[in-house]
Amino acid sequence: MIGGLEGWRVKIGRQSVIVMLIKPEQSYGKVRTQDELASRVLTWVPAIMTGLAIVPLPVLFLVLFLTSSGTDTAAFYLILSLVSLGLGLAVAVLILIGFGLYRRRWKRRLRDRLAADGITASELSWFQPELSTEERKTWRELETMNQLLADAYAETLAARLTATRIATRARGEGLRIERQINRTRQLRNADTTSLLEDLINDREKADSIRKEAKRREVQAKARLQTIEAAARREISEAEISVMLDRLHASQDQIPLGLEIARLEQEARKRSREFRDDEYPAPSN
């Protein structure tokens, strides 16, 4: 086996040929089926365990309380029902806290694994906690208004998250190297010139990566603003067009009340003219 490859020697005549087969790589950086299953389990199991901790014993003691004939026995079962309810609530709270902390840590590790090869738009749903409130709101609105712009917004969001993670990691690496440089300079009676040069080069590389990631992050944020502005512009133009069409229609068509008043006025005028023709005024 050589470098992740498996080889078999195949003899053809007098020649010997090594056939190399590439082993399928593990889907590192991709969402696996077991990840989705684990997410569903961590979502539903706490609710089920909470129900099992709270409901059965209080209900059992309550049934015994209702079916008991003696007063002392009924009071005893009622007390047991209340006590078991309180204990069940305490256990349920502990279950929710424990599973909540574990689920949070599990999702953080999953996000780190997914981001190892860069975040894609299809993986963006797992990174909701790292999005700002405004970004989540805008993304939801675009999905209902324009799917093409929503897809472009999601891809840009993924690029922004990737750049942010790279900048954060490079900054942490730069701080770590800086601390190591300070420790190295404190060493006495040791030749640390070569080590210091390597560490300084590493710090410069980390700083360069951080600056590049920050530049990419700013570009992604600017693109997000551009997509949002284009969507808002499209919505505004559509709304204004509809409003103008309604305004033109309302101006072209006379309101019904005004039309009825005009007809009534014409009818009264014709009625007066008819009376004047039938009954002319007497001449002096």
DSSP string across 17-38: EEEEEEPPPP-TTS--HHHHHH
Q: What is the pLDDT along the chain (284 residues), one digit of tens a residue?
A: 433 334 444 333 444 433 333 333 445 667 788 888 888 888 898 889 888 888 888 888 888 888 887 788 888 888 888 999 899 999 999 999 999 999 999 999 998 888 888 888 888 889 988 898 999 998 988 888 888 888 889 999 999 999 999 999 999 999 999 999 998 888 887 788 888 899 999 999 999 999 999 999 999 999 999 888 888 776 555 555 555 555 455 555 555 565 676 677 777 777 666 666 655 555 55
Q: Could you give the CA distance from residue 132 to residue 55 in angstroms, rounded to a whole number?
A: 39
Counted residue by residue, the chain has a size of 284
Crossing angle of helices 133-145/193-252, nearest 10°?
40
Sequential DSSP letters for 141-200: HHHHH-HHHHHHHHHHHHHHHHHHHHHHHHHHHHHHHHHHHHHHHT--SS--HHHHHHHH
Q: How far is CA 226 from CA 69, 137, 138, 223, 230, in A?
A: 75, 16, 12, 5, 6
User: What residues contact 8, with CB distance under 8 A and at least 6 apart?
Assistant: 18, 19, 21
Work out the number of other CB atoms within 10 angstroms of the CB of residue 25: 7
| 248 three-class SS | helix
Whole-number pLDDT of residue 228: 87
Q: Could you give the CA distance from residue 28 to residue 113 in angstroms, rounded to a whole number?
A: 7
Whole-number pLDDT of residue 243: 54
Q: Using the structure block, give the residue that is written with the tokens 């992604």.
A: 220
60-68: list long-range contacts, CB under 8 Å, 24+ apart: none
Check: CB of residue 122 under 8 Å from CB of residue 196: no
Whole-number pLDDT of residue 1: 40
At 1, list the tokens.
Answer: 């086996």
Q: How far is CA 156 from CA 105, 152, 177, 222, 227, in A?
A: 26, 6, 31, 10, 9
Q: Phi, psi (5° rounding) for residue 192? A: -115, 20
Among 55, 54, 142, 58, CA closest to 95: 54
Whole-number pLDDT of residue 254: 55
At 176, list the tokens.
Answer: 């770590």
Determine how β-strand 15-22 pairs with β-strand 5-12: antiparallel
Q: What letter does residue 121 receive in the DSSP assignment?
A: G
Whole-number pLDDT of residue 2: 36
Whole-number pLDDT of residue 258: 59
